[in-house]
Structure formats: C-alpha cells, structure tokens
Amino acid sequence: MRNSGKTQKSKPRNGLVAALDVGTTKVCCLIAKPGGDHGPRIVGIGHQISKGMRNGVIVDLDQAEASIRTTVEAAEQMAGENIHEVIVNLSGGRPKSRLVAYEVAIGGHEIGDGDIQRILDPANLAQEIPDERELLHRIPMGYGVDGNRGVADPRGMYGERMSVNMHVVSALRGPLRNLEAVIRRCHLDLEGVVVSPYAAALGCLSEEEKALGVTCIDMGGGTTSVAVFFDGELVHTDVLPIGGAHVTKDIARGLVTPLNHAERLKTLYGNAMASANDDRQLIQVPSVGEEETPEAHTVPRSVLVGIVKPRMEEIFELVRDRLKQGGFDQVAGRGLVLTGGASQLPGAREMADTVLNKQARFGRPLAMDGMAEASAGPTFAACAGLLQYGLGHRAEETGAEMPQSAEPQGRFGRIGQWLRENF
Ligand SMILES: Nc1ncnc2c1ncn2[C@@H]1O[C@H](COP(=O)(O)OP(=O)(O)OP(=O)(O)O)[C@@H](O)[C@H]1O
Ligand SMILES: [Mg+2]
C-alpha cells in the first residue's frame, strides 16, 4: 500500500523503471525490469478510469491522486515490488515547441565533452523561456563550428565559436506543478516529465519512420497531440484540447441520450465516413432521464454518422492548420501514424489521409517482453513511450546499451537537411 503517510524521497532504487500515463479518460502504469536475455521485461501493469482530469489538465487533485494511487498499486501488486519514482507525461500547460540557436566561444582549443555540456546547459535558455513557463525538453539537432553548420558531433574539432540548434519544449508552470504535487502526494518521486505527444511517438514509431520523417497523432479522450520527426529527431510537438470525449458529448447532446450510451453507440456504430447503407440501418437510442428502464427511440445510423463526422473533421482540420502555421505540414513527408483510443473510430484513418494529405497507419505500442494483450492497444502507446524514455534515461545514467527507440534528452542528434536549410 502506498498510503503510509510518510514521504519516500530519494529511496534507494530497486532497478525497476516505471511509467505513468495520466490521461483524461484513463490512467495507466507500466513497470519494467531492465536487462534480461530478451531486453527489458514488463513486470507490472495497472489501468484505471481517470478522475479529476479535463483535457489533459488536473482539475481535482484529490480525485487525480486516488486514480493514480489505485493504478500504481495494481501495477506494483502484479510486479510484486513497490516503485519509488515514475516517468510521467504532461498534456496540460499548453506545451510549446520552439527551435532555438545558441553559441559559445571556444577560443581555438579542441572541443571536448565539457564544451558540449556548457553549450547545452539549460541555464543558457533562461532568456528564451518566459517566467510563467518551464523547460521540459531540449533536444540538440546539430552543431556548427565557426559558421560551418551541419556538424553532427563537434568533439575533437578546433574552432573559435561553436553553435547548436535545439528543439526546446516548454510548458506553463502551474499545470506542471499540479502534476508534480499529485505524484508527490502518492509518495512517488518524479524521474522525468515527458510531453505527451513525444511519449506517444516513442511508444509506437519505428526507427525507420523517425529517420524518414513522420507525423504522429495521438487522439485521446480530451486531447489530440502531435509529434513531428525529421531525420531521426523530434522537431515539433503540439497538444490540442479536443479529443474523443467531445465526439461522445456531441452524440449525447444530438441524440438526447446519456453519456454512457453515447459512448457505446459511438464504439458500436460510429464512423467518421458516411456510407450508402447508413440511412437503412436503424439504431436504438436510450432516452435521457429514463435510466432504470430506458425507453429507446430509433434513428437511422446516418444521423449518428452525421454527428460524428463533422467533429472528427474539425479535429483533423485543426491539426492540419496548426501544422501549417508552424511550417511543419510538409517537412516530415507523407508518413502519418495514428494512435490513442479515439483513433480506433472506424473511418478515422481514411479521414486523416484525406484532410492531412498523408498516408496513415495505426500505431500500437512497440513489442516488449511481458506486454499483455490488454496493454498492446493504441491507448497504451503513450505509456509504452514513457517506459522507453525511462529505460533510455537509465541506460544513459549507467552507461549500458540503449534500448531501441529510446530518446533520452541530451543525446547528440544528427542535423537534418530541413534544419540546415531553414534554421
Ligand atoms: N473503439 C473505439 N472507437 C472509437 N473511439 C474509441 C474506441 N475506444 C476508445 N475510444 C475513445 O478513445 C478515447 C480515450 O482514448 P485514450 O485512452 O487514448 O485517452 P486518454 O489518454 O485517457 O486521454 P488524453 O490522451 O486525451 O489525455 C475516448 O474518448 C474513447 O471514447
Ligand atoms: Mg493519452
């Protein structure tokens, strides 16, 4: 049980890596044991309906705490061990991506690890991050020495000045502090905070996709988040406060039915694309206010599709417009990966293809030893990505070999052609 009432700050590590996805509709926790013949093994899985969240933001600390506690406890019980720290995702706090250039003097000496540390020092970015925001990620994307850009790794080179291009992700301090507070109230330490779209992308993209360039869209219950990779690097992230729950609410309002029935109708009969048979198929819709013996009214399926389609269209159009605004609509090519619970709506992929002019596939968590069938679906992509991130982070700390697709902060990135041309 994790309600002993005493804090467990800086407890000795037991070698487990734990990921906690605090979503709008569900909380999930994965615990992994690194090492082993087949790589890291998942030893604990917890999964709960989420309370106290709205559009990726904590709105009720007590409820959020209770959801997280029960989820973590279930995962710990399965693992047979307690965890002391977690890698967690952040969807709230309006995360913002920016590309930043920074330069330091070298004075003609050979560039070494110390110079790299100096140029990547988060303190250098103080001017770039407004007071109300906090730095979440700084991902080096390429270096320059004396104006010669496109240097992948400048160590060993000589020069007077060294520059770096970085992808910087920041978020509003308030929502980040609330997340930290809730995690602390569960007597857990924060090992890392990862912006949600980055986590989802790490969970379901292949190395090849990242290298070729790809856009990953995680459609959750209360948010739709976007990550763009180019030349192996994360170059852009965005989080929109709209998701599958909005579709459900539209159905409840439009068909005058309770939310739980709207959710059921959406998953059973919903479709983002209209089809010729929709007018002929009749569906039973329980009426609102008659919970005990709900009297149903009958509507053609086309009415349901007529509610679902415009909302899904709106979400994809918003994503398209935001990508365009940031100049990231073309950068990553036509590859698109759709993940998250709301991506399971039939017709979502076809609609994404059309609206975004890309070619989509569904993204599920990358295979890992011990991953149960129940946690292999798209709703677990972000949690699996947090685990990948955590495993990469630990491997970097201990000098062990990094697992595939882990992208811990601070590793030296390659420069992309697009960045060379546009930065
Ligand atoms: N088969 C399905 N068809 C359509 N929608 C579905 C299906 N299964 C789940 N959903 C929707 O997926 C959403 C939940 O997805 P997910 O678990 O990825 O969200 P979350 O991580 O809790 O939220 P967020 O990422 O926005 O904070 C809900 O809106 C639910 O209605
Ligand atoms: Mg989610």
pLDDT of residue 145: 96
Domain shared by 109 and 226, yes or no? no
31 domain-assigned? no
**Distance from the alpha carbon of residue 163 to the mean position of ligand 2, in angstroms:** 36
- Smallest-distance ligand from the CA of 340: 1
pLDDT of residue 340: 98
Pairing relationship of beta strands 17-22 and 214-219 according to DSSP bridges: unpaired
66 domain-assigned? no
- Smallest-distance ligand from the CA of 260: 1
Domain shared by 239 and 350, yes or no? yes
Query: Looking at 324, 346, 364, which one is the last position of a domain?
Result: 364
Pocket of ligand 1 (CB under 6 A): 23-26, 50, 56, 91, 220-223, 243-245, 248, 263, 266-267, 340-342, 344-345, 379
Tell the residue nearest (CA) to atom 25 of ligand 1. 220
**Distance from the alpha carbon of residue 329 to the mean position of ligand 2, in angstroms:** 23
Structure confidence by residue, pLDDT tens digits, 74-86: 999 999 999 999 9
- Smallest-distance ligand from the CA of 219: 1
**Distance from the alpha carbon of residue 218 to the mean position of ligand 2, in angstroms:** 7
Domain shared by 127 and 271, yes or no? no
Domain that holds residue 334: 207-364
Domain shared by 119 and 266, yes or no? no
Tell the residue nearest (CA) to atom 15 of ligand 1. 341
CATH of the domain at 150: 3.30.1490.110
Specify the ligand 1 atom closest to the Cα of 379. 18
Q: Give the count of domains, the chain.
A: 2
337 domain-assigned? yes
Spatial separation of the C-alpha atoms in residues 211 and 416, rounded to whole Å = 10
Domain shared by 242 and 108, yes or no? no
Structure confidence by residue, pLDDT tens digits, 324-378: 999 999 988 999 999 999 999 999 999 999 999 999 999 999 988 888 877 889 9
Query: Looking at 364, 381, 398, which one is the last position of a domain?
Result: 364
Torsion angle defined by CA atoms of residues 357, 359, 362 and 366, in that order, rounded to the nearest 10 degrees: -120
**Distance from the alpha carbon of residue 244 to the mean position of ligand 1, in angstroms:** 6
| From 198, 223, 267, 273, mutation site for ligand 1 pocket: most ligand atoms within 8 A of C-beta | 267
Specify the ligand 1 atom closest to the Cα of 26. 22
Domain shared by 310 and 167, yes or no? no
| From 58, 71, 344, 380, mutation site for ligand 1 pocket: most ligand atoms within 8 A of C-beta | 344
Domain shared by 101 and 219, yes or no? no
211 domain-assigned? yes
Positions of the chain with pLDDT lower than 50, given as ranges: 3-9, 401-423
Single pTM value for the model: 0.91
Strand-by-strand arrangement of the 148-151 sheet: 96-105, 161-172, 133-145, 148-151
pLDDT of residue 372: 82
pLDDT of residue 413: 35
Domain shared by 346 and 215, yes or no? yes
pLDDT of residue 415: 36
Domain shared by 128 and 265, yes or no? no
Spatial separation of the C-alpha atoms in residues 203 and 368, rounded to whole Å = 10
Structure tokens at 420: 């060379």
Specify the ligand 1 atom closest to the Cα of 346. 3
pLDDT of residue 173: 96
- Give the distance from CA 421 to its chain's centroid: 28
- Smallest-distance ligand from the CA of 221: 1
